Amino acid sequence: MNIQSVMTPRLLAIADSVPFGATVADVGTDHGYIPIYLYKEHKIERALAMDLRQGPLSRAEENIDRFGLKDFIKTRLSDGLCALSEGEADTAVIAGMGGLLIAEILEKSPVKLDFYILQPMTATAELREYLAQNDYEITDERLAKEDNKIYTVMTVKHGKMTVLDPVYYQVGEKLIENRDPLLPELLDLLIHKYSEALGGLLRAEKVDTRAKTDVYKMVLTGLKRLKEACDLW
């Protein structure tokens, strides 16, 4: 097996976000492709592949053995980062799961690391809000498109982050600063999503949805403003 052949755009964006020379704890490693790729690309020297279940961990062990990397990539059963000890890693990759689960893993972590590479499959806005409210700072973001879906990859460290407008929970400020080429497409998707949701709330005409309606209107206005700015790039 050629490791490059199994690295999808989403996985490549995650791997590209890992700092050079990092010691990585890959949470929810599944097949172990990310640490294997990082080692084969000479970006890291060692890693820990972690998973909650033995099945995925066994698949990772088979792949690690296939590439002859047992001395460099160790495996461990772990609920998130709970089985990680101080000094075993400086960077965590937490990818391919929901944003709320990622937030829960960070909340339960027994150690503080230098960097966290986060790739939520859902609840991206909720994850950004959690980070802002719990002393994390997003230092970089990038987008990847795979199977007609757009995924966000965040580089995060401990620090302070001020979010001045709720729209930046939907679209990270770093994506705008970086002028990510996929950002206009992401904005179109979000505008469609919130337009549909707002239409449903307005048709319902329920008193208890007014507060939510106001929030959706504000977010939709902000998304359209960002899209207009992107169109001028």
Q: Is 215 exposed, middle or buried (0-12, 13-18, 19+ CB in 10 A)?
A: middle
The whole-number pLDDT of residue 177 equals 95
Instruction: Determine the Cα–Cα distance for residues 118 and 13; give it in Å rounded to an integer.
Output: 11
Mean pLDDT, the chain, whole residue set: 95
Q: What is the pLDDT of residues 123-144, one digit of tens each?
A: 999 999 999 999 999 999 999 9
The whole-number pLDDT of residue 207 equals 61
The whole-number pLDDT of residue 188 equals 97
Q: How far is CA 227 from CA 48, 149, 197, in A?
A: 40, 18, 19
The whole-number pLDDT of residue 1 equals 79
**Pairing label, strands 115-120, 149-158:** antiparallel
The whole-number pLDDT of residue 71 equals 97
Q: What is the pLDDT of residues 78-128, one digit of tens each?
A: 999 999 999 999 999 999 999 999 999 999 999 999 999 999 999 999 999
The whole-number pLDDT of residue 152 equals 98
pLDDT means per 10 residues in the chain (233 residues)? 94 98 97 98 98 95 97 97 97 98 98 98 98 97 97 98 91 96 97 91 74 88 94 82
The whole-number pLDDT of residue 95 equals 98
